[in-house]
Amino acid sequence: MFGRFCSGLYGPYGWGGVGMGIFMVIVAVLVVVVLVRLLDTNRNKSSSAETALEILEKRYAKGEITKDEFDKIKSDLAK
């Protein structure tokens, strides 16, 4: 019944049609993965950008540096 429309198990295109379908699925998955990574990278850059002064204040708050070191580094940053 379908003999004149389809030749064999994989239709008129044979393994080429199946291969092209698999190729298109792989390309679609790769495009989605790349887009997700790009969007995630942009989000991380904007939220994690600390200034030097913020880092200095955190170090002072943790007790890693003394008041004198804090003042000296802060004045160096202002230059």
Residues 25, 29, 33: CA angle, nearest 5 degrees: 170
One domain, residues 15 and 35: yes
User: 39 and 20 in one domain?
Assistant: yes
DSSP state of 59: H
- What tens-digit pLDDT sequence spans the chain (79 residues)? 444 555 555 566 666 667 778 889 999 999 999 999 888 876 666 556 678 899 999 999 999 999 999 999 999 988 7
Residues 2 and 17 in one domain: yes
Q: Do 41 and 55 lie in a common domain?
A: no
> Are 73 and 43 in the same domain?
no
Is residue 61 located within the same domain as residue 42? no
pTM (2 d.p.): 0.42
**Among 15, 79, 32, CA closest to 53:** 79
pLDDT for 20: 79
Q: At what angle do helices 67-78 and 52-62 cross, to 10 degrees?
A: 180
User: What pLDDT, on the 0 to 100 scale, is given for residue 1?
Assistant: 47
User: Which tokens hold the place of 52?
Assistant: 């030097």
H or E, element range at 4: none
- Residue 67's domain comprises 50-79
Q: Name which of 49, 23, 68, 16 is nearest 60 in CA terms.
A: 68
